[in-house]
Amino acid sequence: MGTSAGLAISQGREPLFSFGLISDVQYADIPDGRSFLGVPRYYRHSILVLQRAVKEWNAHQKHKFVMNFGDTVDGFCPKDQSFNTVKKVVNEFDMFEGPVYHMIGNHCLYNLPRSKLLPLLKIQSPDDHAYYDFSPVPEYRFVVLDGYDISAIGWPQDHPKTLEALKFLREKNPNEEKNSPTGLVGLERRFLMFNGAVGKEQMEWLNGVLQEATELKQKVVVCCHLPLDPGASSKEALLWNYDEVMELIHRYNCVKVCLAGHDHKGGFSIDSHGVNHRVLEAALECPPGTDAFGYINVYDDRISLVGTGKMASVDMYFNPQSDL
């Protein structure tokens, strides 16, 4: 990614805090396979990557929390094993000696309805939405978006959100197979069933959180399973309404970094407003013995991702213009 997190550390300043991160574990007790595009997937090995990650995060001793960027279980997991498989992976996360914040991904929703999934992931919500925020130190706020708020997967079949998503897909994607981008041009290629959107209520909630963060002079890190910037991701992996979400985010100056998973190869960009976008490499696609996890050192002027294995390190400096 061109920059050196080691450099940031060698500058000698202590971070305000740090946290661990991993994405797309997609564990299942099934033989290795491949993605649609032919990339090898190591379904049994991925939990070993997570175990090594937890060991390293604990050895570091100072991480304040850990974030799981979603797709905890794979869609090919036999459905009679879904509940226990998610539980097994969550138990591995719980070996971390501190809080763990989970996100949902499409593969989680192939396995379990929200009503069963969210309690397992300890996402507390009266109406099964999976967005929330937390402030680990007074200077920072983390916003976790629910990218499958409007989605054809995860809600009951007759739920208004399922119906809204299916209507949207019918309008945007003429293919019978709604996961196929065939014939879709450029950024239209994101209109696939394995993606989703942030709905109206969540947008209003996000607006309120960003308003409050601005008043409190907090810097914000936005986290979502689905990427929010075409510069950091394949077009096929983007949130359906990434443009609306970013238009809202850009009205404020408080959001410094957006982190995501889903696009397994990973990516990095700085958008037109100086917001950093980092898509994390998947634990699932690490050949046996290799890794993809990391931790982030948070400073007042940058955050530095220190990656292990396939997860590339990067220093993400904040745009000083945005604080003027």
Ligand X SMILES: O=P(O)(O)OC[C@H](O)CO
Ligand Y SMILES: Nc1ccn([C@@H]2O[C@H](COP(=O)(O)O)[C@@H](O)[C@H]2O)c(=O)n1
Q: Nearer Cβ to ligand Y, position 74 or 149?
A: 74
Smallest gap from residue 168 Cβ to ligand Y (A): 17
Decide: 262 and 24 in contact? Cβ < 8 Å.
Answer: yes
Given 234, 253, 297, 304, the residue binding ligand X (CB under 6 A): 234
CA distances from 66 to 20, 97, 287, 316 (A): 4, 9, 23, 19
Given 45, 178, 190, 264, the residue binding ligand X (CB under 6 A): 264
Q: Which residues contact 184 (CB under 8 A, 6 or more apart)?
A: 173, 191
Smallest gap from residue 284 Cβ to ligand X (A): 8
Given 263, 285, 291, 315, the residue binding ligand X (CB under 6 A): 263
The CA distance from 44 to 33, in Å, is 10
With CB under 6 A as the contact rule, which of the stretches 61-69, 84-92, 93-101, 229-237 interacts with ligand X?
229-237
Decide: 259 and 280 in contact? Cβ < 8 Å.
Answer: yes
With CB under 6 A as the contact rule, which of the stretches 115-123, 169-177, 257-265, 286-294 interacts with ligand X?
257-265
The CA distance from 255 to 233, in Å, is 19
Q: What is the 3-state secondary structure (H, E, C) of 132-148?
A: EEEEEECCEEEEECCCC
Q: Nearer Cβ to ligand X, position 147 or 307?
A: 147
Q: Nearer Cβ to ligand X, position 18 or 106?
A: 106
Q: Determine whether 185 is exposed, middle or buried from the number of CB atoms within 10 Å of its CB (0-12, 13-18, 19+).
A: exposed
Smallest gap from residue 99 Cβ to ligand X (A): 26
Q: Which spans of this chain sit near ligand Y (rule: CB under 6 A)?
A: 35-37, 177, 179-181, 194, 236
Smallest gap from residue 33 Cβ to ligand Y (A): 9
Q: Nearer Cβ to ligand Y, position 168 or 295?
A: 168
The tokens of 111 are what?
A: 């396995």
Task: Kindly identify the residues of this chain, within the stretch 56-85, that bind ligand X according to CB under 6 A.
Answer: 71
Task: Kindly identify the residues of this chain, within the stretch 237-256, that bind ligand X according to CB under 6 A.
Answer: 237
Given 101, 194, 268, 293, the residue binding ligand X (CB under 6 A): 194
Helices (H), the chain: 5-10, 46-60, 82-93, 106-111, 114-120, 160-172, 200-215, 242-250
Residue 237, binding choice from ligand X, ligand Y, none, Cβ under 5 to 8 Å by partner class: ligand X
Task: Kindly identify the residues of this chain, within the stretch 125-184, that bind ligand X according to CB under 6 A.
Answer: none
Q: Which residues contact 319 (CB under 8 A, 6 or more apart)?
A: 256, 270, 273, 274, 275
Which residue sits closest to ligand Y, CB atoms considered?
36
Determine the residue type at 118. Answer: L
Decide: 64 and 2 in contact? Cβ < 8 Å.
Answer: no
With CB under 6 A as the contact rule, which of the stretches 89-97, 132-140, 233-241, 315-323 interacts with ligand X?
233-241
Given 18, 23, 82, 106, the residue binding ligand X (CB under 6 A): 106
State phi, psi for 302 to the nearest 5 degrees: -170, 160
Binding site for ligand X (CB under 6 A): 71, 106-107, 194, 234, 236-237, 262-264
